[in-house]
Chain A
Amino acid sequence: MNKLEKCPVEEISYSTLCYHQEKKGYEPFPEWAKAFINIGEASAKLKVSEFRSVIALTVPVRTYAAVLIAVGIVKHRSLQSTGSNDPNEYFARLCGLPSLTKIWLSDGQKRYKGIILGTESVGGQHVLKIQRFDSIHYVGAQNASNVEIENWAGELAMDTRGKRIVRRVDFLDAVYDGAIPKDFGTKSRLDAVIVGSVARLQTEIVNTQICVKLPTGHSIDGKFQDLLRTRRIAPDRPFRSELVSDISPDLDCKLRTEDSVVIFDGARAFINQRDEFKACTRIVVLDRTTQSFQDAVDILNQQYVNRVTEFPRFQNTPGIPWGMELMAFEERIS
């Protein structure tokens, strides 16, 4: 049984997600946009194996395809908790970290930079000793989920006020049909990586006005950033996705990408950076109007010839626009 049969591509309801159109106001997301979200979600469902999954698609215009696919990926992955199911196991892992490891410590509606100083016994309880800007904090196993390991940049001394945790619960709740997990917006995990023109992608993620229309008739405004939590756009805040330049791979090498889905946004991104993120499921978005379109197609066709298996059901994704080609297969990682 191939992997997709366990996780068939289903149409999910996004009828309330809207985009803003000048002079017309908010309009529901069109079919093509829903198709990209569905493709993202279906690719996130593919189980990681010894082989690599590749989903390649041709589009008439590059814009928004990668961002919408990333929304689908993050949406599906957000249903899985970021931390270990066993808090004691996670606490034991934290205690095993070397002294001076950089972490984030959540406290109320804020998160602060911190450094692990070691472990101590307080009142007979084994606790983690953490240095914040101006104080020492002790964290026990029951609060271990407030600690997040991340190699933040800058100085501990500069982080006097912490970073406010912005969850946008109402917006997320409406988009995710009430299924929003507790740690979305408070915990980091790299679910999706988009490799492409950072400036353009950033504009799409931050400047596009979207909203969710509720059955009550009310609507809640938002941005793609509320759904994607892109690390580059909001550094020092919990993230779920990241943008990587298609010119030089500038991803923080300390980030774990093995479980991420990587979206190559454009032929150039794929041609230049395809040797990176080797083990990740990859989605390649090819804009038909670009100069290097055919070069990327040739590479993908060659990979398809050497495939292990293919996922023809991706082509049944609802809403695929006219002329969009979609090829999904599994290949050996060379």
Chain B
Amino acid sequence: MKLTTFADTNSVYSCSNELEVTRHIARHRIVREFMILFRNFEKMIESDIEDSYLDSVLRPLRLYRFRLASLPVHLSSSFLIPTELSETLKNYVPRCRNLFPHYFNELEKLAEAARLTIGCNDAPLLDIVKNIVTQDGPRVKKAILVRRLPNLELCGELKRKIGASRIELVTPATLRSAETYGHIIAIGPLSWFPSHVRTAPRSSKMSIVHFDWLRDQNKLQPSFISSSNKIFEFSSNSAYVAELNSLETLPDTGQVFDESEPNLDWQSLHMSNVLEMSPENGNESLSSRLLLLSANKALYVDSSSGAKSYIIEQVKSGSTIGRVLNEALEPGMFILIRTGGGGSLIVPMADKILGSKAQDIRLKQKQWKKALFSHIQQKGEQSVIRLLRELGCKRASLFNLKNWMGDKTIRPEFDEDFLAVLLICGLDSEFNAFADNARLIDRVHRIAGFKIRRMLLDRINKADIGKLLEDGIMEFDLPGVGGGSFTAYRVEDISPQVFLVPTNHLNHPFEVSEKWLG
């Protein structure tokens, strides 16, 4: 979002040219035992992996495993523990005795290991991070890179725990901008992150912090088939193992590696949301893409060509609102969504402009819509469509009929269609009056839209954009316009596939349920 200057661009190239990567390995006995049991159990149930009971037991455990490996907090932190995990351990695990008796003993052991881990107050990853941060000193601008940020509170909590200034908690989407850092500390193996984190680095100093049971991909493959395999060799590369003195010395149990990469289960996220969807007034379904946003939100946007969204852009004079094609949306952009006020903001603003005339003008508008509605109630939709066509309405269809009756449509676009509608309503003698009324509403709505945009721009320009960049979310309220507000969210990820969604569910952010596959 920030305007990228030549100097910013130069900083990015300097990061590439001077890149040094250091690996820090965390070892922790309790976590490792939990991991070994988990891996063994997953191997054991391979033939029954599709079973819904086993899936419901393993999902919260996988999420916990992913979080403890990807967030530098205490093992007992509430940020790590999925809400349904205690229920799973308490009630679901015992059911295994009846459902899968041959797995029960191993699952019991795994559940016990999970309980032990949850009860442990050690913070192996956090200890390493603190150590790195202390060595850097306070003047270096640092970023802790996490695969997924569950909520904003975690940022504050981590900053407090680490106790250092000039530190940001970032996701891979943040590293798509040209902002550079003095040191990036990635939590988790680099293979968990999009390849640009390493191939287009935003810091010349990177530390990778992960548990010993996670394997990382050391060699990056070039993109072009003609490129040499040495393209990503470092000018200097050092790695060391950070042993934590406070922990017991581990017996050598051989290498136990987990190569699973955490991914968002888009299909599952969609399915959990789609169950709550109910098309309103026969709204059609549209193909849409699912965006993962900051602050643990997700959003459907129309994926048809030509569909656009509002974003906040940085220009020379400050911030502005831009419109981009949805197909051109990229992670790292800030999408602007209407989140408060209910209904359209345009109408209250337009009524404010119309003043005392507003009521009469709206009543006139409702007059023909009501008449059309009651006509349909009496005769039925198909019969009205047939009649409209006979009267010269070329665009009479069920979809258009519903649109014309709806609040969002001012009038049928073409005069011949509007006249036909007024004819069946018995209002055709006042065609000119209705057309003038609609023209006035249209004009005032445009002025209202322009005013709202201006107000919003004003709010955005007065806002602390630095805070938006750091938090990834910011709400902009518009006082005096029916409590309307907009929220800017950072786009974190975009679903590769499209989903069919009722139109009334587009552009409404919703909470992301825990659908990460650890």
**A: which residues have CB within 8 A of B?**
19-22, 30, 32-33, 56, 58-61, 63-64, 199, 203, 207-208, 210, 247, 268, 286-291, 293-294, 297, 300-301, 304-305, 310, 321-327, 329
Contacts and interface: CB of A to CB of B under 8 A. Distances in A.
Q: Which of B16, B222, B231, B329 has the most CB of A within 10 A?
A: B16
A321 B13 CA distance: 7
Nearest to B177: A289
A288 B200 contact: yes
Contacts of B103: none
A203 B9 contact: no
Interface residues of B, number: 42
A327 B226 contact: yes
B222 A289 contact: no
Contact of B224 (A21, A22, A287, A301): A301
B200 A61 contact: yes
Contacts, number: 108
Contact of B7 (A19, A32, A247, A294): A19
19 contacts: A19-B7, A19-B10, A21-B6, A30-B10, A32-B10, A58-B199, A59-B200, A60-B13, A63-B6, A203-B316, A207-B316, A247-B325, A293-B223, A294-B223, A305-B225, A322-B235, A323-B200, A325-B224, A326-B224
A61 B6 contact: no
B13 A327 contact: no
A116 to B, nearest CB: 41
Given A208-B6, A323-B231, A58 B19 contact: no
Interface string B180-201: 0000000000000001100111
Contacts of B4: 61, 63
A-B complex: 10 closest residue pairs judged by Cβ atoms: A60-B200, A289-B176, A288-B200, A327-B224, A19-B6, A61-B12, A289-B196, A32-B13, A21-B7, A63-B4
B518 interface: no
B494 interface: yes
B491 to A, nearest CB: 10
B332 interface: yes
A22 B6 CA distance: 10
Contacts of A59: 200
Contact of B332 (A22, A289, A293, A300): A289
Interface in B1-44: 3-10, 12-13, 15-17, 19
Interface string B454-470: 00000000000000000
A210 B9 CA distance: 14
Nearest to A207: B316
A203 to B, nearest CB: 7
A104 to B, nearest CB: 31
A63 B223 contact: no
Nearest to B220: A323
Among A64, A203, A288, A293, residue most surrounded by chain B Cβ atoms (within 10 Å):
A288
B196 A203 contact: no
Given A323-B199, A323-B200, A22 B13 contact: no
A325 B231 contact: yes
